[in-house]
Amino acid sequence: MITIKVPATSANLGPGFDSIGVALQLYATFKVKEGTEFSIKGCPVAYTNENNLFHRAYLHRVAQLKLKPKFLDIEVQSDIPVARGLGSSASFIVAGILCAHLIHEVDFTLGEIAFASSTFEGHPDNVCSACLGGLRASLICKNYVLTETFKIHPDLKFYFIIPDFELLTSLTRLALPDKILMSEAVHNLARLPILLKALETGDQDQINICIQDKLHHPYRFPLIYQSENVLAILDKAGIKSTYISGAGPTIGILHMGPLNVEPIQLELNTLRHKFKLIELKFEPHGITYSKD
């Protein structure tokens, strides 16, 4: 029996489109053993088939390693909500790639797992933080993934407003333009390094300014039902450090010190859709695994 545990992640963090991710203390656990036929349980019925991302990633990596795939008996226990922008897909991809090495007893480094996961996913932000933990900037090079970790202030809190509906990344990608203005690129480039420094120093004013994005927020916020109402509630509470977590629909908040959650949640409860405001703690470590 192989057990793999992967943390949730929040990607983009405003101007860090497809390049910045942070690991969070919410987890997906996979228990895998060899079987006589393919089997997966513990996730929604729509995903209990061979199109499951874990299985697809496993087969992808096995093919890269030029190995014969095995029938897997997979049991999933995940607290990461599906299609909400908190790295559920990344957790399945990373676990499937790692499983290929573990169950076939092929040596690896976590850097290799991060690279294989990044090329399968198409971008490295979630999967690098899921593999290696922490707040990370990452990019895919020709034969490896380049990733660096950044410090965060000990008083920085990560809050998330999670709605009761899904939003598939494949759909939100279609909303993005094929071309952007030079001014929009400069807007993000100027803010990203200052944001990373502000997260380390705990400068809330700088976080509020530098969390602003022009590459995906303008196109994805309209896809999130009642997002304008949610942002109005947060603005009323004096909260300016909001961003779309991953591709949405979850809205993230970077806040120095604890938020007074109750009055904000009461306001959110007046909306037609259900929105839950929670804190998720920073996870400095990434994927863990064991073989029994």
**Concatenated DSSP letters of 18-58:** TTEEEEEEEEEEEEEEE-SS-EEESS-GGGSSTT-HHHHHH
Which pLDDT belongs to residue 172?
82
- Report residue 218: phi and psi, to 5°: -60, -25
For residues 77 and 113, the answer to whether their CB atoms sit within 8 Å is no
**For the ranges 6-15, 36-45, 219-228, 279-288, which has the lowest average pLDDT?**
36-45
Q: Tokens representing 15?
A: 């101007």
Q: Looking at the structure, do residues 128 and 217 belong to the same domain, yes or no?
A: no
Domain tally, the chain: 2
C-alpha dihedral, 193 to 196 to 197 to 199, nearest 10°: 160
Q: Looking at the structure, do residues 54 and 141 belong to the same domain, yes or no?
A: yes
Q: Looking at the structure, do residues 124 and 208 belong to the same domain, yes or no?
A: no
Q: Looking at the structure, do residues 25 and 145 belong to the same domain, yes or no?
A: yes
For residues 15 and 191, the answer to whether their CB atoms sit within 8 Å is yes
Distance in angstroms (rounded) separating the CA atoms of residues 9 and 25:
9
Distance in angstroms (rounded) separating the CA atoms of residues 114 and 112:
5
pLDDT band at 187 (very low <50, low <70, confident <90, very high): very high
**Bond from prior residue into 249 cis (ω within 30 degrees of 0):** yes
Helix or strand (DSSP H, E) at 89: helix 88-104
Distance in angstroms (rounded) separating the CA atoms of residues 279 and 259:
9
Q: What is the pTM of this model?
A: 0.93
DSSP state at residue 282: B
Q: Which residue, among 8, 5, 13, has the nearest Cα to 29 in the 3D structure?
A: 5
- For residue 179, the domain's CATH number is 3.30.70.890
Q: Looking at the structure, do residues 6 and 134 belong to the same domain, yes or no?
A: yes
Q: Looking at the structure, do residues 41 and 161 belong to the same domain, yes or no?
A: no
Q: Looking at the structure, do residues 166 and 202 belong to the same domain, yes or no?
A: yes
pLDDT band at 50 (very low <50, low <70, confident <90, very high): confident
Which pLDDT belongs to residue 51?
86
pLDDT band at 202 (very low <50, low <70, confident <90, very high): very high
Q: Is the pLDDT of residue 47 over 90?
A: no
Q: Looking at the structure, do residues 138 and 68 belong to the same domain, yes or no?
A: yes
Q: Alpha helix locations (H) across 133-181?
A: 169-174
Q: For residue 193, what are the domain limits?
A: 156-279
Which residues does 27 contact at the CB level (< 8 Å), separation at least 6? 5, 6, 7, 8, 78, 79, 80
- Beta carbons within 10 angstroms of residue 241's beta carbon: 24
Q: Looking at the structure, do residues 108 and 188 belong to the same domain, yes or no?
A: no
- Asked whether the CA dihedral 38, 40, 45, 50 is positive or negative, the reply is negative
Which pLDDT belongs to residue 43?
84
- Asked whether the CA dihedral 118, 122, 125, 129 is positive or negative, the reply is negative
Q: Is the pLDDT of residue 77 over 90?
A: yes
pLDDT band at 276 (very low <50, low <70, confident <90, very high): very high
Which pLDDT belongs to residue 45?
80
- Strands 72-78, 135-140: pairing is unpaired
Which pLDDT belongs to residue 48?
82
Q: Looking at the structure, do residues 242 and 168 belong to the same domain, yes or no?
A: yes
Q: Give pLDDT tens digits for 98-153.
A: 999 999 999 999 999 999 999 999 899 999 999 999 999 999 998 999 999 999 99
- Beta carbons within 10 angstroms of residue 261's beta carbon: 13
Q: Looking at the structure, do residues 160 and 146 belong to the same domain, yes or no?
A: no
